[in-house]
Structures are given as C-alpha cells and as structure tokens.
Structure 1
Amino acid sequence: MRRTTRTGALLALLLTFLTLSIASSAQAGDVLTEKSAGRKYALQSKAASDNAGKPVCVSAEINDAGNQSGKLRARTNCSDPSSLGSWETFTLHTDDKGSHAALRSEANGLYVSAEFHDADSHFGMLRARQTDAIGNWERFELVDLKDGWYALQYNFTEGGTSQDYYVSAEVNSTGGDEGLLRARMTTTPGSWERFKLVPIPASSQPPTAASTPTRNIHALTWNTCSNNGDCPMYDYSADEFAYAVTQRAVAAQADVIFLEEFCEKLAKPLEQKLEATLDGGADTWDVRFAPIQYKVGTSHWAQKSCGANRGAYGVAIAVPAENTWYKAVELESPADTERRTALCAAVPTWAVMACTAHFSTGGSGYDDPKRYTQQAQATYLAQQVAQYSGYRPVFGGDLNATPTVTPDGSSEPVLQPLYNAYKECDQPANRPTKGSSKLDYLFGSTSATWSGCTIGSNTANPSDHQPLWGTVTLPAH
C-alpha cells in the first residue's frame, strides 16, 4: 500500500488504479502477485509469429466470459519482454520438488489448468482459473527438446486410462481460437508444441537514498514455522497468523520485520493487520515476499508451494509503505535440494537496505551436511547487502547455524563472513532462539550500535523459533 504524502498525488492515483485493477481481476483470498519478488516468465511459442515475423508469446485472456475466461492463446508480440503486461506474465510453481511445474498467471493470481471435460475444439484447453492448491490438472512436465525449446507434457489419468499429451498452440484455428493452447498432441512434439520460458527483467537499481540524521530503527526477525505441520502456526488462519506476528511487532515497536518460513498468501492479511494495529494507520506498511525454489527441467526454477493452499513458500519483509524497490537474492544451495533465498527492500528516506534471509539446513543428515554451502551463503549475503550505493544494511533471519559451528576441515565459523563485516544484535551473549541453539540473527553496519536486544518468550509460542528484536542506531548519513 502507498502513502500519498510521500509519493505525490498523481503517482498515488496511478498506483491506486493499478492496485484496484489487479485486485478486481483476482478471486477473493488470492495474493496480490505484484508483491512477490519471484522469477517471472513469458511463454513464447515457436509456432506463432506476427505479420512481421516477430516472436509471439502466450496471453491469459482474463476478460473473456464464462468458461472462456483466462484461456491461453499465443497472440502477443514479445520482441521486448520488458514491455509485456500481466496477461503475458507467468510464474512457475511446484508441489513435488520440481518433478512437475504449474503455471500461475500474474494477471489474476490463478493456476493454469488443462480442462479435459470440455468437448470438441476445446478439449484439453488451458485456462488460468484454479483458485485452490495445485492439483493434477495443473501439473505439467517440462520436457527439454535439446534444441533450445521445451514441450509442456501433461498426463491425463481417469477411469483406469493414462495418456500423455503435449500442449499445442493451434495457430490455424479460427473463430477467435487462433493460437489457443490445448493439451492434445500424443505424438512427437512439432513446432506447435515447442515453447520457451523467457525471463521478464526486473528493475536492477533502487531509487537514490536520502541524506538522513541519526536514526533508531527497531528490527524484529522471526521464523514463523508456518509450513511445518508440527508447529501450531501451520494450522493458523490468515487472521490468527497476522495477529501473532503483530503481537510480536507491538512488543518490539518494530519499524521493519523479517519473516522466514512464510506463506505468500499471508502477506496481505499481515499488512492490513499491521496498519490497523501499529501507529501510522492505513497505507503505512508494505509486506513483500520472495520464494524458495526447486529446479524444474534443466534450467528453470519453480516456486515451492506452501501447505493448505497458501501460495508459495519463502521469506517476507515488512517495511514502510514508501518502499517501491525490492529484490530476491537467490542463494546457491546444494544440488537437488530447495534453493534458499534472501529478500532486500529499500527504504530511501532512512538510507536503509533492509534484508531477510533463510539459509540451507546444515549438519549431518541435512541438505548441507558439511556446511560448506552455508559458509558460501554467508559470504555472498555479506557482499549483496552492501552493494547498493548510499544505503546502510540492516538485515536478519534464520541462518541455520550457531556462531561457533565450523564446516568440516575449517577452523573459521560458518557465519564469520558476516561477523567480519557487520555488528550482530546479541553479541557476545548469543542466547538461543531455537531449543538450545542460536539460529536467528540481526545485523547492522559496523558504524551502527545495537541496544535492547531481546529474545521473545517461549510462553505460548506458536513457532519452534523464538522471535528476536532490538534497536539499531545508525549515525547521520
């Protein structure tokens, strides 16, 4: 949400229009997908080209009526991917660790289904229409055809019959169905069945940071455990979740909040609860999200699904509503495991780059048994949060390692690259935040000082991590 006193009346009017346009096209309870820093793609068809021979990409036609709404057609010139709109923008998702991928339309936040109960020319038609969790109709296999193109393969199983179908872009159809996407080809894929996932470029640089006097910033980090069936948070409604986080934010007097093990569809309810509860009122907070991913096919990444139909799974950050620039910082992770992430958001009037991170799980029996990857993630994060000219880093998260743990064969602790460059809130006490281990951290620049570092109470804690908060004082800048 936006604060009009900071952005100007004209910009606020435009942003309000865009927000209302997206919200009106989405089903109740769906995410506002512009809040996510996940990878976005256009789907280019090899079969289709416009009259000038330019590449053509697939659109989800959201404004069509009835059972035609959201149908996918190869119809839009995509010579310049940066110029494409929400109808041509998709994200990839997976609920089976990358074996299959689902497409979600950026225009309405809904998954693409292959509809096999329609008859005749619409049998197997692809539509952006699934409001619930990913199901069988939404799962496609990305088949690498080894020529720079992929096929989308769908397995239809019903009544004891199983058949694989490739998605076709039917460029010779007529009557308004030109380029209609249907899962219908059972033989070797031809040009109609060849597609590319073309990355949509994101903004690379934040706005210019302002000069600012000495400032105190109250920071809170919490792993909410909302995708772990053993934690109470997993069964919380959106309202219950937002209330639990806001309670901790009130205790911390939080100005910025870092959240891990977060489900995407909880972002908007949390934003509204923060605005209703904390000083400042409406239009004062933004909650941004970045997904943890799995590799699908040979070169693409799909967002890991959260349980209970709550969108993607990852990390989130709550910052003042002046924020307009945010970026996922993907962390190299062990092969064939989930790819972890960080998320940074600029607060220009503070000259602060606020970032949250969730490292891979290390130790015997986990993704990174010797913790070499964790150490590399710490080195990379230390570099990334400092790269934005004019901004001071304030960051935190669940780093899944204690301050003293070392990789096999190394005498330097896993997180030493961060301690070398930044000050940590609870140093040297290093009190535990999960069981008997300190896994959660708050860092600030070396010129900053921390005070009031607090570990939240274990009493009635709905997560397996305790929240950590403190106040960082940044000198004039």
Structure 2
Amino acid sequence: MRTGGLLGLLVALLTLPVAPSAQAGDILTEMSAGRKYALQSKAASDEAGKPVCASAQTEDAGNQAGKLRARTDCGVPGSLGARETFTLHTGDKGARAALRSEANGLYVSAEFHDTDTHFGMLRARQDGSIGNWEQFRTVDLNDGWFALQYTFTEGGVSRNYYVSAEINSNGGDEGLLRARATTTPGSWERFKLLRIDSPSRPPAAASTPKRSIQALTWNTCSNNGACAMNEFSDDAFADAVVQRAADARADVIFLQEFCEKLAKPLEHRLEARFDGGADTWDVRFAPIQHQMAGTKDQWAQKSCGRNRGAYGVAIAVPAGNTWYEAVELESPAGKERRTALCAAVPSWAVMACTAHFSTGGADYDDPERDDQQAQASYLAEQAAEYAGYRPVLGGDLNASPTMTPEGSSVPVLQPLYDLYKECDQPANRLTTANHKLDYIFAPGTATWSGCALGSSAANPSDHIPLSGTVTLPAR
C-alpha cells in the first residue's frame, strides 16, 4: 500500500480545469452494462389476458412519484421501456436485494411509514444507501414463480410482508404494488424477473490505416477502505484518474475496482482536461455480481458502498463508441461472479475490453486457480469473436505470468499469451507490492512501445498504473 506523498498529487490536481461532477439531467447509472430485468406479475393481465410487467410511474409528483404498478404488456417486443426496466443490487452477497429503476436511477422502497391505503407502497424514490425498506428476499414458490418478501421492524418487532399487485383495486390504484400480505402468497403475490437482453452484436467496423493507441490500465482500489482512493470525493477520484491519463496521454483507459456512480464525474473531468470539449469521451461500467439466494439464474450487482452504486469495472473510450457489452466470467461457486466489459470504437476498428479476474491462491476465491485459467481462456476467445475488430485488452488479472493452477504446468494466463502480445513483455515489472497482476494485451501482429509504470510515490491505490503505446496494422 502506498498512501504517502499525497501533497505532490494534490498540487498536480490543482492544475486541472474545474468541471462539474455531474450535469443537470444526468442519471449517474445510465452507462451501466449490468443485467436488466422486467418484473412480471402473475395476477395482472391486459385485455387479451397476457401477463403484464410493473412500471415505475416517474411522471407522478410528490409522494406518488415513482410508484410501481403492474400495467405494461410483457409480451410485445419493444413494449418495455426504461420505466419497466430494473436492475438488482445487493450489499450482503445475494441474501437480499434491491430493485433500481432504469427510468430515474433510484432504488425501490416499500414505504411502511404510510398507515393508510398506501401502507407498504413500492416507489422508485431512494437515492441514498440501500436500507431495510429497499431490500427484499426472493421466496421460491416451487411453481416457476416467486414472492418478494420485505421485513418491517418497528418497536423491536419484525414482521414479514409479501408484495401484492393489487388487481381490481379502487381509488385509481389499479395494479399498485404494495408490501402488505402476511399470509401464504397467492396469485397477487406471484412474480417473475424476466431478463431483458441488449443487442448482441456491435456495428460494423471501419477499414482503417495503421494506427497507434495509448492505453492505460489501473486498479483504482475505490471500494477498499485500506486505500486512499476509497475516501476521495467523486471529483478528487476523477481528478486522480485524469492526471494519470494525462501522464500517459491515454486514448483508452481500463479501470478496475471502480464504483458505478463515478463514471459520469470521470467522463466530465476527462472532457474538461483534454482538447475536444464536451461529448468527446464515454465512460462505461459493468458490475461484479452475486447470485440471489434461492434462485437459479438471478444475479444482483455488488454494492460499492458510500452511495456510489454498483462495484465492478469501467472503460473510458472516445465518444464514437455506441455499443458496449458486459462479458460475464464463470467464477467459483458461491463467490463473486467476475466480469469483463468490451466497448467498440468502430472508426478505429478496435474492441477495447477491461477485466478483473477472481482472486486466486490459498484462502482466496479460487484456491487452485482453475477458474482463473478458464476466465483467461474465455476472455481471449470472446475478444477475438467481434468480426472486423482488433482487440485491445487491459485489466487486473490477479495472477502473475508464471502462476499455474494446482497440478498444472500451464500458466494461468497462457491462453491470453497464446493469442496476444502483452505491453510489458519480457520485463514483467511488478504492478503491486509483490507481483505483476496488471496487463495490457493486443493482437500478435501489433507492436508495443513505451510501456511504463506510473509513479508509485504518490499512488493512492495498491496497484501501480501501467501504460503503453500499441501500433495496430492497417485493416
């Protein structure tokens, strides 16, 4: 850990232009590539008898804003918009989860303070940390449906309530979702989470001449209380990344241990610092996940804490990027499901991907490092699958070039070395206190130059930034 020498860093940051951390109308979660779901009710149906999905009524005002109602047809392609789209989030490794609306970026609360007919009403309205009113358990009803169970505690007494979709309700609240049923769940209390898939293929890549790209990778350690970055304000965090990007003259930035809501502040800071102005950078994010308890294929995004959204990886690319995709990596059972994130830059014919592999070795998620090697194989193959694009990969892969799985002689990262050329070959300088864990790979036909480590003197993370210039042949 290197936390000394911060005075020099702060002096350097004072030279940066001032830029807002967020702009009016920004939803700080809109650049996330995490799994998205629709919430389907068994009880509710449209006039044709089709099941409907819950909608967050963000056009309402006052204490009605964001209330959830089962009212939108689930079966018609294109019928589900942002108001019917939710993501799952967890702060306790999948035991409970919170729903977050894509329409306004707010968590759904069960409002138990209201003692009238709206007791337990579900509203997408919480902008702070996830609390008890925002967390539910999924209860498998063994018939393909599940119940959403909230726990309300008052006066030291806890009581469980199931969410109901109030069909045939009076007073203009048809289909309102309320956490209010205390008996065995019936049809009003039966729900499904339907995964909403994003477009599967990027746009066509352009034909380009030979091109040189400056790439930077850095594990920012923003979720680790032992790292200085964890305590930085949003602006100070963005400034620290921008300073290292300026030092490396970076065109593409790979980031790990990143908090989702830092993406927009970083994007604005990059645009303020570098020539080109507004709308010249895009910062995308993908979460690391936990499997929801009692489910087979429902995954909740790991919370980053400090009201910074989910925890995962991010990538900063030119604003010509219009397509990005989370690449979920198979991970040890019962542990964090790690991820990669790929973003297309069509005008460069480059697919830039960042990744953070599972921790390996004794007393860690993957003690024998088998899953790490499988993650390397999958990423190596997946990155090469985007037709017409040349992969450039960066990240914290949590293994050194020589580490091998238990009982194997093949290094963990050999699948990547078989297909790609790494920035710091053969020097393999250490990017943490004891190991090289951070990498930037490019196709074997590319050439690297100027591969360098950032200064460790004023480094607020437990990883040292790695950067280099890759020259890609014409395509």
Give the TM-score, by structure 2 length: 0.94
Equivalent position amino acid for 2:244 in 1: R
From 419, 424, 427, the counterpart of 2:425: 427
Question: Per the alignment, do residues 268 and 346 of structure 1 end up closer, same or farther by CA in structure 2, a change over 3 Å counting?
Answer: same
Query: 2:3 aligns to what?
Result: none
Q: Say yes or no: does 1:340 pair with 2:338.
A: yes
From 208, 218, 223, the counterpart of 1:222: 218
C-alpha deviation, 1:63, in angstroms: 1.1
SS at match of 2:449: strand
Question: Per the alignment, do residues 25 and 274 of structure 1 end up closer, same or farther by CA in structure 2, a change over 3 Å counting?
Answer: closer
Would you say the 8 A contact 1:25–1:108 is kept in 2? no
Equivalent position amino acid for 1:244 in 2: A
The whole-number CA distance in structure 1 between the counterparts of 2:268 and 2:60 is: 31
Q: Say yes or no: does 1:161 pair with 2:157.
A: yes
Would you say the 8 A contact 2:432–2:463 is kept in 1? yes
Query: 2:95 aligns to what?
Result: 99
C-alpha deviation, 1:32, in angstroms: 3.8
Q: Deviations over 1:273-323 (max 9, x none)?
A: 000101222110000000000000312000000021100000000000010
Query: 1:364 aligns to what?
Result: 362
Query: 2:40 aligns to what?
Result: 44
Runs of 4+ in 1 over 4 A off after TM superposition: 22-26
The whole-number CA distance in structure 2 between the counterparts of 1:259 and 1:183 is: 39
The correspondence of residues 123-134 of structure 1 with structure 2, limited to 5 A, is: 123-134=119-130
Would you say the 8 A contact 2:222–2:259 is kept in 1? yes
C-alpha deviation, 1:101, in angstroms: 0.6
Query: 1:31 aligns to what?
Result: 28
Stretches of structure 2 that go unaligned for 5 or more consecutive residues are: 1-21
Equivalent position amino acid for 2:384 in 1: A
Query: 1:306 aligns to what?
Result: 304
Stretches of structure 1 that go unaligned for 5 or more consecutive residues are: 1-21
Query: 2:109 aligns to what?
Result: 113
Query: 2:11 aligns to what?
Result: none
Work out the percentage of aligned pairs sharing the same amino acid. 75
Equivalent position amino acid for 1:241 in 2: F
Question: Per the alignment, do residues 81 and 369 of structure 1 end up closer, same or farther by CA in structure 2, a change over 3 Å counting?
Answer: farther
Query: 1:253 aligns to what?
Result: 249
Question: Per the alignment, do residues 82 and 438 of structure 1 end up closer, same or farther by CA in structure 2, a change over 3 Å counting?
Answer: farther
Would you say the 8 A contact 1:426–1:453 is kept in 2? yes
Would you say the 8 A contact 1:38–1:91 is kept in 2? yes
Query: 1:442 aligns to what?
Result: 440
State how many pairs are aligned.
Answer: 452
The whole-number CA distance in structure 2 between the counterparts of 1:252 and 1:176 is: 59
Would you say the 8 A contact 2:120–2:178 is kept in 1? yes
C-alpha deviation, 1:80, in angstroms: 2.8
CA RMSD of aligned residues (A): 1.2
Equivalent position amino acid for 1:229 in 2: G
Question: Per the alignment, do residues 357 and 270 of structure 1 end up closer, same or farther by CA in structure 2, a change over 3 Å counting?
Answer: same
Question: Per the alignment, do residues 23 and 92 of structure 1 end up closer, same or farther by CA in structure 2, a change over 3 Å counting?
Answer: farther
Equivalent position amino acid for 2:201 in 1: Q
Would you say the 8 A contact 1:23–1:32 is kept in 2? no
Equivalent position amino acid for 2:456 in 1: N
The whole-number CA distance in structure 1 between the counterparts of 2:275 and 2:383 is: 28
C-alpha deviation, 1:25, in angstroms: 6.6
C-alpha deviation, 1:83, in angstroms: 3.3
Query: 2:18 aligns to what?
Result: none
From 41, 46, 52, the counterpart of 1:56: 52
From 62, 69, 84, the counterpart of 1:66: 62
Equivalent position amino acid for 1:137 in 2: W
The whole-number CA distance in structure 2 between the counterparts of 1:83 and 1:276 is: 38
